[in-house]
């Protein structure tokens, strides 16, 4: 049987949700805070892979950078 020369690339897929948080949706402004959630798309059961919430884009990016360094 032929063996691949190069291993398959490693990738991770996520559902990213983002929304503006406001008490009154009609009163949103540029100053209204954005919120984010990230949910891995995986096959099988892995309790470690849950939806995570973030209060800012900076928190989201910091999480992704940390996970990339650790290999997800």
Count other C-beta atoms under 10 Å from residue 28's C-beta. Answer: 14
**What Cα–Cα distance (Å) separates residue 56 from each residue in 36, 61, 68?**
7, 9, 19
pLDDT per position as a tens digit, 23-42: 776 777 777 899 999 998 87
Please give the share of the chain, as a percent, with pLDDT higher than 70. Answer: 72
Q: What pLDDT sits at residue 44?
A: 62
- Calculate the CA 1 to chain-centre distance: 38
The residue whose two tokens read 């020369």 is 5
pLDDT over 90 (residue 16): yes
Q: Is pTM beyond 0.85 here?
A: no
């Amino acid at each position: 049987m032929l063996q691949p020369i190069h291993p398959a690339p490693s990738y991770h897929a996520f559902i990213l949700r983002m929304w503006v948080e406001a008490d009154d949706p009609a009163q949103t402004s540029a100053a209204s805070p954005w919120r984010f959630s990230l949910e891995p798309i995986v096959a099988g059961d892995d309790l470690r892979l849950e939806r995570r919430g973030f209060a800012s884009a900076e928190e989201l990016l910091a999480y992704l950078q940390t996970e990339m360094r650790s290999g997800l």
